[in-house]
Amino acid sequence: MYCPNCGTKLSGEKFCPSCGTNIVYPASTQSKLEGFGKDLQGIGCGCMSLIFLIILMVFLFNACTS
């Protein structure tokens, strides 16, 4: 990773030690997962997981009573 402003080699600094530019690193795996979750909520799958849980509970309830 190099400073996009002055080209100084960086090793994880949030700010360039040479010119003080705020360094934005490529998205980590964690933030990718967060973005994936937001995408799912955006197309309505956030509700789908809740509905799936309810269906699962009803299924388990029926299995216990039968």
Instruction: Rank residues 5 and 41 by Cβ distance to Zn ion and give the closer one.
Output: 5
Question: Each residue of 11-49: b (16+ CB within 10 Å) or e?
Answer: eeeeebeeeebebeeeeeeeeeeeeeeeeeeeeeeeeee
Q: CB of residue 12 vs Zn ion: minimum separation in angstroms?
A: 14
Using the rule CB under 5 A, give the single segment among 7-15, 25-33, 36-44, 47-55 that binds Zn ion: 7-15
Q: How far is the CB of 2 from Zn ion (least distance, A)?
A: 8
- Considering the rule CB under 5 A, would residue 3 count as an interface residue with Zn ion? yes
- Are 62 and 55 a contacting pair, CB within 8 Å? no
